[in-house]
C-alpha cells in the first residue's frame, strides 16, 4: 500500500476532551515533495457525546499523476474512553494502478475480533509474519490519534506510544514532545503549535530487508505539528514532515472548518 497513504492515515487528528454535544470537523490537506504537490486528502471527524466516526480520502495529485493513479479511503467508528479511543469498526479501500487493497477490522475492546484483508501478504522470505499477538491491545491508525489531552497540558498529545495495527502491519509509533512553535494562518492570525517528534518501530507484517523499512526505523526526521481548534476541544494536525533520502515529504493543512468552530486556512 502507498507509503503516502500510511503517512496520512497514521497522522490524522488529536482529540483533547470529550465534547458535550455533536460536532463535525472537516479538514483538507496537501502533500508535497521537494515543493511539488503529490497528493490531496480530505478528513471528516464527527463527534457525538462519547461516539466518534472519521472518514479520510486520499488521491494522487499534481506531479504524482504522471507516475500513479493512487486513491484510497479509510473510515472508522468507535467510542471515546477516559484515556483512549476504542474503535469498533475500521475499513480501508485503496487502489494503485491495477492493485486493489481492501481491509476490514472489527474490534472488541482493545483487541481485533475479526478481520478480512485482501490481498494477503506474499510469502517473501524476509517477511515478519503477523500472528494473533499483533491483534491484541492495539488501535487502528485513525483512532490512534484520538486521545484525551488534559486542559492546560497540550504537550501530552505528544508523550505517548501508539500500538497501531493496520490489518497488514503491526508497529508502534512513539511520540515525544519536541517544542512549541508559533504558526501563522490566513488573516494574519497566529496559533501556538505543539511539535511532536515521531519514531517508527516495526513489529510484525514488515519486510526486514526492505530499504524503506530500515530507513524509517532509523529516521530521526519525522515531526508533527498540532494546533488548537478555537471553539472545540480539539487539537488538529497542522503539518507533518517526514525526511527522506531525496527530500522532505510535507503534509500541510489547507483548510479546517466545522460546527461551532473558528475556521482555519493556511496562509498563502
What is the structure's pLDDT at 81? 83
What is the structure's pLDDT at 38? 87
What is the structure's pLDDT at 88? 98
Mean pLDDT by 10 residues, the chain (268 residues): 48 48 80 88 87 90 70 92 89 88 96 96 94 95 77 75 94 94 78 91 95 93 85 75 90 82 58
The dihedral sign for the CA sequence 11, 37, 183, 178: positive
What is the structure's pLDDT at 104? 97
What is the structure's pLDDT at 5? 46
What is the structure's pLDDT at 219? 94
pTM surpassing 0.85?
Answer: yes
What is the structure's pLDDT at 1? 45
Transcribe 168-204 into DSSP letters.
S-EEEEEEEEEEEEEEEBTTS-EEEEEEEEEEEEEEE
The answer to whether 5 and 11 have CB atoms below 8 angstroms apart is no
What is the structure's pLDDT at 24? 84
- How many other C-beta atoms can be found within 10 angstroms of the C-beta atom of residue 234? 25
What is the structure's pLDDT at 205? 94
What is the structure's pLDDT at 50? 83
What's CA 184's distance to the chain center, in Å? 23
Query: Phi/psi of residue 27, each to 5°?
Result: -135, 145
**Helix, strand, coil in percent for the chain, rounding step 5:** 10, 55, 30
Amino acid at each position: 500500500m502507498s507509503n503516502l497513504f500510511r503517512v496520512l492515515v497514521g497522522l490524522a487528528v488529536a482529540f483533547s476532551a470529550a465534547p458535550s454535544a455533536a460536532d463535525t470537523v472537516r479538514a483538507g490537506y496537501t502533500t508535497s515533495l521537494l515543493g511539488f504537490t503529490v497528493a490531496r486528502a480530505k478528513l471528516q471527524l464527527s463527534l457525538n457525546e462519547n461516539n466518534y466516526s472519521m472518514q479520510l480520502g486520499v488521491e494522487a495529485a499534481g506531479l504524482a499523476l504522471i507516475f500513479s493513479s493512487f486513491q484510497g479511503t479509510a473510515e472508522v467508528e468507535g467510542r471515546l474512553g477516559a484515556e483512549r479511543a476504542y474503535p469498533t469498526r475500521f475499513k480501508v479501500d485503496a487502489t494503485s494502478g491495477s492493485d486493489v487493497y481492501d481491509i476490514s477490522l472489527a474490534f472488541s475492546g482493545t483487541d481485533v475480533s475479526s478481520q478480512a484483508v485482501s490481498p494477503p501478504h506474499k510469502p517473501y522470505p524476509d517477511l515478519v509474519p503477523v500472528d494473533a499477538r499483533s491483534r491484541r491491545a492495539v488501535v487502528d491508525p485513525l483512532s490512534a490519534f484520538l486521545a484525551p489531552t488534559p486542559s492546560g497540558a497540550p504537550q501530552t498529545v505528544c508523550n505517548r506510544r501508539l500500538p497501531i495495527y493496520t490489518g497488514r502491519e503491526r508497529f508502534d509509533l512513539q511520540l515525544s514532545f519536541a517544542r512549541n512553535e508559533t504558526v501563522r494562518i490566513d488573516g494574519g492570525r497566529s496559533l501556538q503549535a505543539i511539535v511532536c517528534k515521531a519514531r517508527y518501530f516495526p513489529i510484525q507484517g514488515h519486510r526486514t530487508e526492505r530499504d524503506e523499512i530500515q530507513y524509517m526505523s532509523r529516521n530521526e526526521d519525522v515531526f508533527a505539528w498540532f494546533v488548537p481548534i478555537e471553539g472545540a476541544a480539539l487539537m488538529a494536525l497542522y503539518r507533518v514532515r517526514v525526511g527522506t533520502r531525496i527530500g522532505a515529504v510535507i503534509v500541510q493543512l489547507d483548510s479546517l472548518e466545522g460546527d461551532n468552530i473558528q475556521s482555519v486556512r493556511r496562509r498563502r
